[in-house]
A and B are shown apart, each in its own frame.
Chain A
């Protein structure tokens, strides 16, 4: 087997704060292959965004302690010099953020903001960068790109701004695109447009995508592989069909059962996960989910509270839980 395009091994990110050490990401491993989309699902504080900011090296080195391995196309990124990271960002790895209004500079035109990425990484002239910006705006479906290229972000609508963000991210044909909740701030009809756009662009360019979201529906429609995160750790990993169709971890069950669905019968009550997510300063020992889990008695309370469960099996559809496969199948039936 060839080495994956992005390979994260045992990634740990700690933040030193006044209240103590925040264990934002703890021993996380995953791979992303070219041309595929990995959906990272989790609630706030699960560490999904922190992980991806670490891939881009965007954490403040003075407050964040990062260890483990992040290999992009064979190149180690943790501890890489700043100039290397600056060369990679926007070029080989690009990122789009949740809120396109605050994520675009209010002081510069859309065309300038797209063009400058191209200029920075290819050394193209101003005029060539502008042409490239117009080309990108056309590709992401902005009407009248030659006029709109000179507009400022506040003159764009929400959906158009996110399109412009995508144009900016893709201007250098990156091999990896990290989309951090790209549609959360958008209306549902616009969200559908943007997700379609990302899918089409991936087909055209073969970019690998990491789609960070809290919405299992978004994952279902866009991702090939899924990683479910809880309290800074991966609790389940597999293909979309595996994880959403035959979920194995109690937390994934909880997420699916607490989500109202249009396709489900309407009188089926929502089954929320009880309690609240743990503080990342004081993560419960063993399985971090055990205080909220309904199956600790079945799996063995000592096990759940003792050692931390690892994702198993090692490849394919894996989950970090002490329940046996038979028990899980019994429960989900």
Chain B
């Protein structure tokens, strides 16, 4: 297991370097001039030249990239424009602050949103899927199928807006979505995020219901499930000990793949409900041409996906001895 984790961690570092290089060079192809942003609205040519020099933009492209990479470990000084302590992911002239600080500030919002939503859709989706599979062909199964089909066709901004209107503004059933740090007031944290959690998880719940159902039906038809029944194992233990095990491996695998979609969903959700998370940050960065912030968010998202995939693979090995022992 340790060997496995070490190998994967090394692989992750390589992947991250590659991703940062690609985004770095890609963003330089974008027609936006960071120096102009740094310099301000009214900017005489000699000041612009000065800003360009301070930002290192007069250096060759590759040198700029290594300077940026080095900044992550040792920090950077942008001439007189500002200081960015390590780990420096760049300096945002829009926010007038090192990018890393902004990210740290926004990260808890997005983490709370995605982790909460993931818990909701994993619990609900898998449970509904199992119930549907065990009642195959009966009304419960059909209800689950139809509602998951509907859920799957919904869009976050559509449901989100409707929910905001009816549940919050019209009837005041839920509080207005907002972020309160968990450490300050867990109840307010949960109450403020309840609506975003539900809205973000709707599509995923639908998807996991359908997937769990079909995998479970498949598992119940497996030879070894039949063997378990032929051994006289009780119905419930057949489901929980044998069929569920196989179903979970699939769920976990798909969950690893879905992380990207979840982060994408978080961007839309944050925008819909006005939550100041990373998603919102990246959208703003796009409109403001705030390249350092944009790059940093891409990097953080990529890092999150890589880390979670390692966790998923480790879990997979934990559940399936064939993976663990090969």
Contact = CB atoms under 8 A, between A and B. Distances in A.
- Judged by CB atoms under 8 Å, the answer to whether A and B touch is yes
Contact of A99 (B223, B231, B319): B223
A108 B321 CA distance: 8
A303 to B, nearest CB: 41
Contacts of B53: none
Interface string B184-207: 000000000000000000000000
Interface stretch (B72-80, B114-122, B232-240, B285-293): B232-240
Given A105-B242, A106-B322, A86 B232 contact: yes
Given A106-B321, A155-B325, A117 B231 contact: yes
B227 A97 contact: yes
B220 to A, nearest CB: 10
A55 B242 CA distance: 23
Please report whether the interface of chain A is mostly helix, strand, loop or mixed according to DSSP: mixed
Interface stretch (A4-12, A87-95, A240-248, A262-270): A87-95
A168 B227 CA distance: 10
Nearest to B221: A60
B230 interface: yes
Nearest to A86: B232
Given A86-B232, A105-B242, A121-B232, A152 B322 contact: yes
Contact of B245 (A102, A104, A107): A107
B232 A105 contact: no
A44 interface: no
B56 to A, nearest CB: 55
B222 interface: yes
Contacts, number: 75
B233 A120 contact: yes
Please report whether the interface of chain B is mostly helix, strand, loop or mixed according to DSSP: helix
A250 B224 CA distance: 38
Nearest to B246: A107
Contacts of A108: 241
Interface string A98-138: 01001111111100000011001100000000000000000
Q: Which bucket holds chain A's interface residue count?
A: 20 to 34
Nearest to B220: A60
Contacts of A86: 232-235
Interface in A141-157: 152, 154-155
A106 B320 contact: yes
A58 B233 CA distance: 12
A117 B224 contact: no
Q: Which bucket holds chain B's interface residue count?
A: 20 to 34
A107 B232 contact: no
A103 B225 CA distance: 8
Given A86-B234, A97-B223, A102-B222, A58 B229 contact: yes
A117 B137 contact: no
A279 to B, nearest CB: 23
Interface string A5-30: 00000000000000000000000000
A116 B242 CA distance: 12
A95 to B, nearest CB: 4
Nearest to A57: B229
B223 A102 contact: yes
Contacts of A104: 224, 227
A272 B103 CA distance: 77
Given A106-B320, A154-B322, A155-B325, A90 B223 contact: no
B311 interface: no
Contacts of B246: 107
Contacts of A58: 226, 229-230
Contacts of B245: 105, 107
A314 interface: no
A315 interface: no
A274 interface: no
B68 to A, nearest CB: 47
A136 B43 CA distance: 87
Contacts of A302: none
B232 A89 contact: yes
B310 interface: no
A99 B226 CA distance: 12
B70 interface: no
Contacts of A168: 227, 231
Contact of B325 (A62, A87, A117, A152): A152
Nearest to A98: B223
11 contacts: A56-B230, A62-B137, A102-B224, A103-B224, A105-B224, A107-B242, A107-B321, A108-B241, A120-B232, A152-B321, A168-B231
Interface of B: 137, 222-224, 226-235, 241-242, 245-246, 319-322, 325
